[in-house]
Structure 1
Amino acid sequence: MVYLDNAATTALTPKVIEIMTEVMTDNFGNPSSIHAYGRKANHVLRTARQTIADILRTSERRIIFTSGGTEANNTAIKGYALANQDKGKHIITTAIEHPSVLEPLGYLQKRFGFEITYLKPENGSVTSASLQKALRDDTILVSFMHANNETGDLLPIEEAAKLLKNHQAAFHVDAVQTMGKLPVYPEEVGIDFLSATAHKFHGPKGVGFLYANPLHFDSLLHGGEQEEKRRASTENLIAIAGMAQALADSRKQAKENLTYIQGLKRAFLEALSPASYYLNGSSKQLPHIINIGFPGQNNSILLTQLDLAGFAVSTGSACTAGTVDPSHVLASIYGADSARLQESIRISLSKQNTQEELLQLANKLKEITGT
């Protein structure tokens, strides 16, 4: 089976498995306990936090461990909005965000009367000009993803941060798809909250982190005093250790991996060139994601054919009971009636893929589409 759905999740590397096994075997203490077992566990926790902080060029006190990107996004959005609604109740985001951003915003709108402005792509991409036009005096939060999980489109994070420099609005960035792939330093850019999850950069599922500026925000979980009272619950030490190792490895190899992935994408498209296809999204994209459509080919049928042939890809949208829901991302870019919503699939790459696998996929797609 050829795995090409890395935007959904990535496989653990041998080094990450080794580190997690060591902690699992030799370090079962609770990091909050004051005895020797607890101190040993707390050392692992502090080391992991410092490793991540160093990669982000920030203080370890600004790293909050979470159960993943969804919790990190919810904490930043709901926590900050509810704690600061006396300053205003207007929030700006984009129409192409992940559901873990769109759903919390919908909750705030429905239950607490917040007003949400959704910026739509213009000529395939979200612009800083549209953000500037949407900003108001009562805007308290702006939430952008760094790279879209379906198309790989890169959003204007640096430009947005500059616009917000002298504005009261806090800036949240969902960096789930770029963490470990592209450098991002929140303090240097001007980001107040930044979300990431380990399983997108060859770490374990069920763990992530939130970078948080020392701004006032409500905690979502109440109980113990873990994470400096910002997130109650005993830390998932085994997964945190694996996440820190995975991020350190990914960051160390980032330039090399980026060049390698660019080569894989180029080789795939060159091999596919006789076929009739189109690429979705803007010209500025993360190369790890290829959102591609084949005129006249139904994507749900195409996915099944590829799966039977031994290729794991996706549409980039939610699948329920064997049915494929239309992509809200492509609908925002091309319109809800566009044929692209029914013709497009997402191929997502990692450093573990090979050129031979991509050539095999290209040949299989040409065979299926009859070109």
Structure 2
Amino acid sequence: MQKIYLDYNASTPLAPEVVDAMQPLLDDFYGNPSALHWAGKPVKEFLHKAREQVAELIACSPREIIFTSGGSEANNLALKGFYFKNQHKGNHIITSKIEHPAILNPCKFLEKVGAQVTYVGVDQYGRVSTEEIEKAITKDTILITIMHSNNETGTLQPIKEIGEIAERYGIAVHTDASQSVGKVQVEVNELKVDMLSIAGHKLYAPKGVGALFVRDGVELEPLIHGAGHENGLRAGTENTLLAVGLGKACEIAGHQVDNNKLKDLTEYFWKQLKDEFGDQVVLNGHPEERLPNTLNVSFVRRIGQDLIDKIPQLAASTGSACHAGSIELSPVLKEMKVPEEVGMGAIRFSLGRNTTKDEIDIVLKELKEIL
């Protein structure tokens, strides 16, 4: 039975080039990058190169890149670090109701220590309204954090427009770009953001590594206190091995030319589903402003998990959870006002570099037989 992986938004395999780049750190280069002797200096060079590679992908300065343990830590450092360092300027944060838990839960924590948080809604496509963002601004607003793209639907948010609004009011902007980096062009100056989060395992780097872009002049309180690693923002000896993996993955992503291929394959998948099932299949998310690899569809009046269970060789995600016979839609689909009879049949197919048309055709054949 051929295993078919269509869950690249959950995690990606390591790129072979990433494994090769990390290998020297497993064999020979074991020194502390902060050490000034022969064992430390080459490791520091590896770390510096990795920082340059990440910075080049998002078009910023290497000194603006802080390595973290992943997207969740990057988000926590951005939100908590900014709030605790800047709460004397105000205590109001604006975010959306469809953010990843790595944003929503830090916001809920900050509410316990004095922050006021406004959670704006989304339209039927899962996009926030820039007008709603602007209306939510108060004299105490210090930070706006909106994800660049949604992990479930792939819908892209109007981050540049939000950045332009924030710029007029002198408010900092953070975006969680964990799902976007490596799939679409992401440049910090173009987006007009002050902080941006990256997760390594979403772009063919290892799990356990990520990065936070922090624009020069933005002040954060560290989450981890100790020695002055990572510009004083993250104490602890750097994990050069994983940083090198992330750096190489970013270099590869900068040279990738297969995003058009992915988009074509995703559109082919959707067209085949629509041709076969007609009104019994519905697209969740924006029809155009979405990631090129992400296809979230609902099979009307079906249960998504039941369909996946009948295709055991397929790895994909659902948009609902079953609890003791009842169906609970994901918070994202709920906020999009997706009807229950539609949302309960949601499946997220997320394609990647290794996905082939033959694999898509096999899934289509299986779905036809089941339905």
| Superposed pair shares fold, TM > 0.5 | yes
Task: Give the one of 279, 282, 294 matched to 1:278.
Answer: 282
Correspondence for 2:305 among 300, 303, 325: 300
Deviation at 1:270, TM superposition (A): 2.8
Describe how 1:130-149 pairs up with structure 2 within 5 A. 130-149=132-151
For residues 333-344 of structure 1, the aligned pairs below 5 Å read 333-334=336-337, 338-344=340-346
Q: Is the 8 A contact 1:271 1:363 kept in 2?
A: no
RMSD over aligned CA atoms reads: 1.9
Aligned residue in 1 for 2:229: 226
Q: 8 Å contact 1:181–1:251 — kept in the other structure?
A: no
Contact residue 149 and residue 316 of structure 1 kept, 8 A: no
Alpha-carbon distance in 2 for matches of 1:251, 1:316: 31
Give the stretch that moved more between structures: 98-107 or 257-266.
Answer: 257-266
SS of equivalent to 2:144: strand
Matched AA of 1:29: G
2:298 partner letter: G
In the other structure, the counterpart of 1:113 is 114
1:341 to partner: Cα distance: 3.0
**How far is 1:340 from its partner?**
3.0
Q: 1:324 offset after TM fit, Å?
A: 8.0
Once the two structures are overlaid, the 10-residue window that deviates more, 40-49 or 13-22, is 13-22
State the match for 1:78 in structure 2. 80
Whether 1:126 aligns to 2:128 is: yes
How has the CA–CA distance of structure 1 residues 191 and 181 changed in structure 2, closer, same or farther, with 3 Å as cutoff?
Answer: same
CA deviation after TM superposition for structure 1 residue 60, in Å: 1.1
Cα distance change of structure 1 residues 94 and 211 upon mapping to structure 2, 3 Å threshold? same
Query: Which TM-score applies when normalising by structure 2?
Result: 0.93
Give the letter for the 1:210 counterpart. L
Residue identity (%): 38
**Structure 1 residues 10, 325: CA separation in 2 closer, same or farther (over 3 Å shift)?**
farther
Residue 338 of structure 1 deviates from its aligned partner by 2.5
1:159 partnered with 2:158: no
Residue 113 of structure 1 deviates from its aligned partner by 2.3
Q: How far apart in 2 are the matches of 1:288 and 1:46?
A: 31
In structure 1, what is the equivalent of residue 58 of structure 2? 56
| Correspondence for 2:265 | 264
Aligned to 2:71: 69
Of 226, 249, 255, 1:252 maps to: 255
Q: Deviations over 1:156-198 (max 9, x none)?
A: 0110011011213210010001101212221343210000011
How big is the shift at 1:207? Answer: 0.2
- Segments of structure 1 that go 5 or more residues without pairing to the other structure are none
Other-structure match for 1:212: 214
User: Partners of 1:43 and 1:183 in 2: how far apart?
Assistant: 27
Q: Is the 8 A contact 2:183 2:292 kept in 1?
A: no
**Secondary structure at 2:143's aligned position in 1?**
strand
Matches within 5 A, 1:83-98: 83-98=85-100
TM-score (norm 1): 0.93
Aligned partner letter, 1:280: N
Query: Is it true that 1:194 corresponds to 2:196 in the alignment?
Result: yes
Alpha carbons of structure 1 residues 271 and 15: separation in structure 2 relative to 1, 3 Å? same
Cα distance in structure 2, aligned partners of 1:224 and 1:302: 52
Letter in 1 for 2:119: Y
How has the CA–CA distance of structure 1 residues 274 and 191 changed in structure 2, closer, same or farther, with 3 Å as cutoff?
same
Query: Within 1, Cα distance between the matches of 2:117 and 2:154?
Result: 24
* Residue 37 of structure 1, aligned match among 36, 39, 46: 39
Judge conservation of contact 2:124–2:337 (CA < 8 Å) in 1: no
- The whole-number CA distance in structure 2 between the counterparts of 1:61 and 1:121 is 35
Do 2:260 and 2:292's aligned partners in 1 also have CA atoms closer than 8 Å? no
SS of the residue corresponding to residue 248 of structure 2 reads: helix
What corresponds to 2:367 in structure 1?
365
| 1:205-231 residue CA offsets vs partner (Å, 9 max, x unmatched) | 000000001211110001122112110
1:168-187 pair list within 5 angstroms: 168-187=170-189
CA contact (8 A) 2:121 2:128 kept: yes
2:195/2:213 contact within 8 Å kept: yes
Separation in 2, partners of 1:184, 1:226 = 26
2-side partners of 1:57 and 1:279: how far apart?
33
Q: Compared with structure 1, are the counterparts of its residues 232 and 324 closer, same or farther at alpha carbon in structure 2 (3 Å cutoff)?
A: farther
| In structure 2, C-alpha distance between the alignment counterparts of 1:262 and 1:8, rounded to whole Å | 18
Aligned partner letter, 2:19: I
Give, in angstroms, the shift of residue 331 of structure 1: 0.5
1:334 alignment partner, SS class = coil
Question: Could you tell me how far apart the structure 2 residues matched to 1:144 and 1:368 are?
Answer: 38
Distance 2:142 2:352 in 1: 36
Q: For structure 2, list consecutive stretches of 5 or more residues without a partner in the other structure.
A: none
Q: Which moved more, 1:262-271 or 1:345-354?
A: 262-271
Deviation per CA, 1:293-350: give whole Å up to 9, x if none. 10121122122222x2x110012578999x9863110010015x63333110110011
Aligned residues: 363
Could you say if the C-alpha distance between residues 352 and 281 of structure 1 is closer, same or farther in structure 2, counting changes exceeding 3 Å? same
Alignment of 1:8-19 (within 5 A): 8-19=10-21
